[in-house]
Chains A and B, each alone.
Chain A
Amino acid sequence: MEAIKTINLSRSYGKTTVLKDLTLAVNKGEVYGFIGKNGAGKTTTINLILSLIKSDSGTVFINEKEINFKDQLYKRKIGYVPDVPVFPSYMTSKDYLIYTLDIFDMKDSESNKKIQEILDFVDLPNDKKKIGSFSRGMKQRLAIAQALIHDPEILIMDEPTSALDPIGRNDVMNIIYKLKGSKTIFYSTHILEDVERVCDKIGILDKGVLLLEGTLDDIKKTYYDNKVYIETTSEPKVLLNIIRGLKVVKNSKIKKNGVVCNLDDKTDENTLLKKLIDNDEKIIEFSKEKTSLEDIFIRLTNV
């Protein structure tokens, strides 16, 4: 079942097209990493899914039901974490969570227990401190807490870690990791390391166009570029010349104390290794380089 689906979703601001015919699908229970540079159209997409802005064309489906711009009820199933969460400064975190429960018609005798549990989950103290005096990280944790307090099926997060320090970022990623499997999570970011850690599926957006969509494994297989790292007793410069002379690699460059290169389509790792040994090279390290999401992202978006 598709928890979130968009078909040919487009949006322009004046003459600038921010999103062009976006078609994507997030299956129930998946963690979907929505990747793009700043200004790629990620927040616009989220705002369209949440009916916060109107689309020029296209359709949004939540749990396979078409969403109209004026619909509000489908938001019962959604928890939303904005990129810059803003709360009434005079409230405490508990006040805001009570308000959220109340709006979702879920305020009952168990509310205090629920609030304590969710505050423990996001590691926020349940004290009398007003939100106005919260740090950015605390506001981000509260944003996650308010998005989860009504136990939504779908969690939509707009760059939840972009402005956090490394510790705050790690904490937020741990929260997402803990939620993995229990909720559908649609999560936009430009921090690729985070995506590789938690996401089942990714979509790469650039200039409003979805360049790629699929599971991380499939994408890595598709974009696998037969890259190997070689370190021998020879100097890296010497080794580089030897490897280039073999004429079995497409790209090669010095990396650390060795050389990293992409094999051409006709050559496999064993052939290269044999050729090097035949050249009297004493191998220290010969390893396959994993294709990183960063490599794929750069290749796709720097065209």
Chain B
Amino acid sequence: MFKLLKYDFYHLRKTSKFIIFPVIIVIFAILSPITARYMNELLDLALADSGINIVLTDPVVLDSYLQYIGNLYETILYVVLFVGVGFFIKDKTKGLLPLVLSKPISKTKYVLSKYISISVLILLSLLMGYVVFSYYTYFIFDEVDMIGMLLTTLLFFVFIIYILSIALFTSIYFKSYLASVSITFGVYIITSMLTIFEVSVFQYLPGFISNNSINILIGEEVAKDVFINVVATLFISIIFIVLAIKKINNQDV
């Protein structure tokens, strides 16, 4: 397993993914507090000649948090989804898999290594983003909720684990990148849509992680609910991973 991880990290490094994830996340970590702080000024400038007068409240540190969370759950998540599927499926689509699996490599370890390597890379990138974001937010707003933002980062990582588990499953199940990415994206959309239904049990589904992140930052979270939400998300992720492993162990290369 360690050897497979080593070569998956080697692949990530050689194909620039090692740079892409940290750079994108750090860029948003820097831009989020700046955008939150200067959005009012930018809008004033943009609307100066139009005669439209909008009264905006002074930006507060929560705006910076919300800006960053928004960027994480939209832009960063899409990058993870598209790159993740590509990373999982490339051995199959590029024809590398027969030669890989002609060697004494356990298919289970092969799948887990891919999943763990990209997850670790994203976790490290997110932690880097967390440090940079906290620094810039403190620099601009003179305050930052370090614990709250750390929990938010870790909750986002739990959601990433969930999305990656779906990406892993679809990339093993389907033969083309397009099919795999479309189904993963579809599941993500359904996951998000379930948050609009007011069904009590739905609050523990993966889609509610972002809501819980915001609740933590505004001090409204209920620890037990967050805990169940995380456990449920991890449980669903494990199911997808187990299904992916079962599938690859019984399918033609």
B103: which of A47, A53, A69, A103 is its contact (CB, 8 Å)? A103
When chains A and B are docked, how far (Å) is the Cα of A100 from the Cα of B100?
A: 9
Question: Is A85 among interface residues, defined by CB-CB distance under 8 A?
Answer: yes
Q: Is the CB of B252 within 8 A of A87?
A: no
Known contacts A72-B106, A90-B15, then 7 further A-B pairs from the complex at CB < 8 Å, ordered by chain A residue = A52-B101, A54-B252, A72-B104, A86-B96, A99-B7, A102-B6, A104-B103
Interface of A is mostly: loop
When chains A and B are docked, how far (Å) is the Cα of A74 from the Cα of B105?
A: 11
Shortest Cβ gap from A165 to chain B (Å): 22
Which residues of A (85-104) have their CB < 8 Å from a CB of B? 85-88, 90-91, 99-100, 102-104
Shortest Cβ gap from B176 to chain A (Å): 17
Question: Is B94 among interface residues, defined by CB-CB distance under 8 A?
Answer: yes
Shortest Cβ gap from A44 to chain B (Å): 10
Contact with A along B92-119 (1 / 0, CB 8 A): 0011101101111111000000000000
When chains A and B are docked, how far (Å) is the Cα of A70 from the Cα of B102?
A: 12
A76-84, A169-177, A252-260 - interface stretch: A76-84
- Chain A residues, CB < 8 A from B103: 75, 100, 103-104
When chains A and B are docked, how far (Å) is the Cα of A55 from the Cα of B3?
A: 30
Q: Is the CB of A52 within 8 A of B252?
A: yes
Question: Is A239 among interface residues, defined by CB-CB distance under 8 A?
Answer: no
Question: Is A50 among interface residues, defined by CB-CB distance under 8 A?
Answer: yes
- Chain A residues, CB < 8 A from B247: none
Question: Is B249 among interface residues, defined by CB-CB distance under 8 A?
Answer: yes
Decide yes or no: A50 and B102 within 8 Å by CB, A84-B95, A86-B94 being known contacts.
yes
Question: Is A167 among interface residues, defined by CB-CB distance under 8 A?
Answer: no
Contact with A along B69-107 (1 / 0, CB 8 A): 000000000000000000000000011101101111111
Which residues of B are interface residues toward A (Cβ below 8 A)? 3, 6-7, 11, 14-15, 94-96, 98-99, 101-107, 249-253
Q: Is the CB of B98 within 8 A of A102?
A: no
Question: Is A73 among interface residues, defined by CB-CB distance under 8 A?
Answer: yes
Q: Is the CB of A72 within 8 A of B107?
A: yes
When chains A and B are docked, how far (Å) is the Cα of A77 from the Cα of B250?
A: 23
Which residues of A are interface residues toward B (Cβ below 8 A)? 47, 50, 52-54, 69-70, 72-76, 78, 80, 82, 84-88, 90-91, 99-100, 102-104, 143, 146
A54: which of B7, B15, B250 is its contact (CB, 8 Å)? B250
- Chain B residues, CB < 8 A from A87: 96, 99
Q: CB-nearest residue of chain B relative to A71?
A: B104
When chains A and B are docked, how far (Å) is the Cα of A266 from the Cα of B106?
A: 62
- Chain B residues, CB < 8 A from A86: 94-96, 99
Pair count A-B, CB < 8 A: 64
A78: which of B11, B99, B102, B249 is its contact (CB, 8 Å)? B102
Shortest Cβ gap from A257 to chain B (Å): 51
A75: which of B3, B11, B104 is its contact (CB, 8 Å)? B104
A102: which of B3, B95, B99 is its contact (CB, 8 Å)? B3
Decide yes or no: A82 and B104 within 8 Å by CB, A52-B252, A90-B14, A99-B7 being known contacts.
no
Most chain A CB within a 10 A radius of its CB, from B6, B102, B106, B249:
B102
Most chain A CB within a 10 A radius of its CB, from B6, B7, B99, B106:
B99
Shortest Cβ gap from B246 to chain A (Å): 11
Decide yes or no: A76 and B104 within 8 Å by CB, A87-B99, A90-B15 being known contacts.
yes
Q: Is the CB of B104 within 8 A of A52?
A: no
Q: Is the CB of A88 within 8 A of B96?
A: yes
- Chain B residues, CB < 8 A from A50: 98, 101-102
- Chain A residues, CB < 8 A from B94: 86
- Chain A residues, CB < 8 A from B251: 54
When chains A and B are docked, how far (Å) is the Cα of A52 from the Cα of B253?
A: 5
What are 9 A-B contacts with C-beta separation under 8 Å?
Answer: A52-B253, A54-B252, A72-B104, A75-B102, A75-B103, A88-B96, A100-B103, A103-B3, A104-B104
Shortest Cβ gap from B4 to chain A (Å): 8
Most chain A CB within a 10 A radius of its CB, from B6, B14, B104, B253:
B104
- Chain B residues, CB < 8 A from A47: 98, 252-253
When chains A and B are docked, how far (Å) is the Cα of A72 from the Cα of B105?
A: 6
- Chain A residues, CB < 8 A from B107: 70, 72
Q: Is the CB of A103 within 8 A of B104?
A: yes
When chains A and B are docked, how far (Å) is the Cα of A11 from the Cα of B8?
A: 33
- Chain B residues, CB < 8 A from A75: 102-104
When chains A and B are docked, how far (Å) is the Cα of A69 from the Cα of B101?
A: 12
- Chain B residues, CB < 8 A from A52: 98, 101-102, 252-253
